[in-house]
Structure 1
Amino acid sequence: MKPTQTKPESAFSSAEHSSAISYVSRTDFDSNTLSAGASSFEAPATTPINNAHRGLSRRKFLLGLGAVTGAQTLLSPLLPSGMISSAFAQTNSPSTIIGKSAGLVVLNDRPINAETPAHMLDDKITSAENMFVRNNGIPPSEIDVNNWVLTIEGESAKQRKQYSLDDLKQKFTHHSYQLTLECGGNGRAEFSPGAKGNQWTTGAVACPKWTGVRLADVLKDVGIKDDAVYIGYYGKDTHISGDASKEAISRGVPIDKALEHENLIAWSMNDADIPIMNGHPLRLVIGGWPASTSGKWLERIVIRDQVHDGAKMAAPAYRVPCEPVAPGSKVAADDMCIIHAMPVKSLITFPKSGESHKQDEAFAVRGHAWAGDKAVSEVHISVDFGQTWQQAKIEKPVNRNAWQHWQSELNFPTKGYFEVWAKATDCDGISQPMILPGWNPKGYLNNACHRVAVQVV
């Protein structure tokens, strides 16, 4: 039989990607829908990705300011210190990544990274075309599915074994789970002082349905020695430099986490092949932890007798200060700790920020919430910048490490500019902060409340 191959000429559908530039901000905003009087509004670009476009003219800023000043006057005194109105956010150019929605925002084109606007994540199960892209290297140019081999080995493996895709599918029980994957740097754009890296706002998160075999079942088939501490993965992507001797990324998780039932070696997303940009034909899916632990284009797993030391395991990558530090501090590598479970967080997916709404009608709002390895117990909504909160209805997760859906109806006390804020609380009583959490050098783990702008008429 002729091998099945996938050879994308380019991840982009046109040559225009070479100059892909995006501006990002905390909240999506459609300036044309905030109010009829704001049709000329142009929101300031808060975090430029390309130095050639760094900055914003004073004239453009004042145009935007004048367009919304009247609308925000009512509640602006209630804004916490250091915060700007969520009306001041930036629209972005459409993506042209093959297999992905044009609505994704490209943050980087080498390697390719793109996030999903919050309103495009409204589905309970994230569609393949709307799942964000977070790559550290260059995806393999040729994918031979029929000859793809996964190798399991390492100091703490009782034996070295290899599995074809057919071996995995035939030897082990198949499992399907919805699992939340979120980039550790989701929300990085909001930190000040800023941190280097992709300037994610809120859209580096997804919760598709994954199908494959349990990572634990395969590891146990190989045999795990008593001294096992960690597992690490290697994929077939190449280093961004093109140097074949360098790994683009090789991270992992402690052995106890690896053996949890929900972790998969997956070949399917939403009952179809995983998109090329998300790891086809085989990837790890480790729900609830930074998505960087869920290696794509998976070809090797090592069972280690020490903390894995692959690419991007050393500080400062995917680490935060072990103790709180002042913004802008330099932190020694020995004082940085590896990120494990992601923090509690929520997202407003409906309506899109910038909605115009009649005051005499109930206002429907909904979204998702998640909390790393834990469940979310409550979600609250505020329309007065956190002075008062209204509890939303929240559904139970379909399985452990899946996000949970919430919904509510609101009433606005008067006409004018409002912001709807969402705050989730996990099963241990830990809530999202209303403003930025503790600063860290790489801009990880921003779980501040999400907010959307509403013009009540």
Structure 2
Amino acid sequence: MTLRHGKAERSIQELYRDDPERADAVAFGRRGALKGTALAAMGGMLGAAIPFAGRMPEGTLPALFARPAAAQGAAPAVLRMEGKAPLILQQERPLVGETPEHLLDEPVTSYANFFIRNNGGIPDPVADPRTWKLRIDGEVNTPLELTMGDLESRFPVVTRQLQMECGGNGRAFFAPQTRGNQWGNGAIGNAEWTGVRLRDVLQAAGAKETARYTGHFGADPHLSGAADRAAISRGMRMAKAMDEDTLIVFRMNGQPIPHIHGAPLRLLVPGWPGSLSQKWLTRVTLLSQPHTGAGMGGTSYRMPVRPIVPGSNNNGADFADMESMPVRSILSSHAHGTRLPAGTRSLDLRGAAWAGDLTVRAVHASVDFGATWTEMQVAAPANRHAWQRWTGRVALPSDGYYEIWYRATDSEGRMQPHAPANWNPQGYGANPISRAAILVG
């Protein structure tokens, strides 16, 4: 669809980007309804009529064109790795791959479909994982050096389904664009992890009363090759370190952790930014003050306490560390851009939702641009900090172009917003209502 503007013709996407007010006026008219030749042209561009065009909010560009490429399951490059499904290649150095939402259709995320996030290089595998050593030091009475074999033999071994999500999941939805990998919703996985509780190990080391924070270290080398620089070294409040679900893990889905996911030993800090779940874990130190490692302070994994002007520069002095991740949902039953047979009059939907340290109270879906919503059925989590699967059915009155809008509400009543809120330079916490385009007939 092109719109004449002076002597040049521009696509509706370009006009919305450059002059959204004029785009609204041309496409929607003064009364805010998509109409006339604009409606016909947009339907032609979509390849179908738009049954609920009259309910499309003013200024809404169809999701078929507006949704970030990473969220569409179609990207300029695809990561192909042995044993892995085709992931969206976000970055080659360090290696970062996102899982398209429709591949997250498993209650327990398989290795094949688990996203990849690295901050540095990938260390060489070890010959005997059981000899891998972990040091516990800092504000402790008895510093410990434990092999992986020691961890398995000395402490209770537990298995839990746990969500792990990149702190920048949803970053691509921010406008203006922020720094970092332009994730859609696919920087999430809910695997079954086996290991020991971090708190049991810290108690064995005799954590002092002065221990208020942790610092984490791994074997992944800095991309520069400098031996004195860490790729990432984050830390958290002791309250989260002592949570029963914060684990030192050595198995994923019943098997040794794959090397790309941090073998032989990693932290798993569910519900908080995945950067805390240090891969190739070598050391945990306890501190009286917040950790100052790579990835701490400034704007790194930190959010504005008060809103800032989108697109502005900020040193993060008034920001706060990002902790429990915001409520989010995914649709896994239908890929964005799915075409269904003519005559399809209902859709059976399913997906997942989660809310950091909280649980999900409700999930709703809409096929008429949010004018009405249908409540879905939300299953209880397998255990605390596991995601929750949801299912439900929506009706379609005719063939045409539809958008499935889906949103979750957490246990404290916070709902996914219509647009990403609290813009920040590194793009954390964007969790807007998502839209998937569907064509019938």
Contact 1:231 1:258 survives alignment (8 Å): yes
Are 1:329 and 2:306 counterparts? no
1:182 to partner: Cα distance: 0.7
Are 1:381 and 2:371 counterparts? no
1:288-325 CA deviation, whole Å, 9 max, x = no partner? 00000100000000011111111111211111111112
Are 1:408 and 2:385 counterparts? no
- Tell me which residue corresponds to 2:151: 168
Contact 1:180 1:403 survives alignment (8 Å): yes
Q: Mapping of 1:418-457 within 5 angstroms?
A: 418-457=402-441
Structure 1 residues 161 and 110: alpha-carbon distance in aligned structure 2, compared to 1, 3 A threshold? same
- Tell me which residue corresponds to 2:120: 137
SS in 2 for 1:253: coil
SS in 2 for 1:211: strand
Are 1:193 and 2:176 counterparts? yes
1:37-63 CA deviation, whole Å, 9 max, x = no partner? xxxxxx989xxxxxxxxxxxxxxxxxx
1:414 to partner: Cα distance: 2.5
Structure 1: tracts of 5 or more residues without a match? 1-42, 46-63
Contact 1:131 1:205 survives alignment (8 Å): yes
1:410 to partner: Cα distance: 1.0
- Tell me which residue corresponds to 1:284: 267
1:320-352 CA deviation, whole Å, 9 max, x = no partner? 111112211222321111100000110001111
Are 1:158 and 2:141 counterparts? yes
- Tell me which residue corresponds to 2:234: 251
**1 CA distance for matches of 2:344 and 2:50?**
21
- Tell me which residue corresponds to 1:294: 277
Contact 1:380 1:391 survives alignment (8 Å): yes
Structure 1 residues 196 and 159: alpha-carbon distance in aligned structure 2, compared to 1, 3 A threshold? same
1:384 to partner: Cα distance: 1.1
1:158 to partner: Cα distance: 1.5
Are 1:182 and 2:165 counterparts? yes
- Tell me which residue corresponds to 1:272: 255
Give % identity: 41
Contact 2:43 2:50 survives alignment (8 Å): no
Structure 2: tracts of 5 or more residues without a match? 1-11, 15-40
Structure 1 range deviating more: 75-84 or 207-216: 75-84
**2 CA distance for matches of 1:321 and 1:386?**
29
- Tell me which residue corresponds to 2:45: 68
- Tell me which residue corresponds to 2:4: none
- Tell me which residue corresponds to 1:87: 64
1:65 to partner: Cα distance: 6.8
- Tell me which residue corresponds to 1:310: 293
Q: Would you say how many aligned residue pairs link Structure 1 and Structure 2? A: 395
Letter aligned with residue 149 of structure 1 = K
**2 CA distance for matches of 1:237 and 1:106?**
20
Letter aligned with residue 313 of structure 1 = M
- How large is the RMSD of aligned CA atoms in angstroms? 1.9
Structure 1 residues 381 and 172: alpha-carbon distance in aligned structure 2, compared to 1, 3 A threshold? same
Contact 1:346 1:368 survives alignment (8 Å): yes
2:208 aligned to 225, 235, 253, which one? 225
Letter aligned with residue 241 of structure 1 = S
Structure 1 range deviating more: 227-236 or 136-145: 136-145
Contact 1:412 1:456 survives alignment (8 Å): no
Contact 2:331 2:406 survives alignment (8 Å): yes
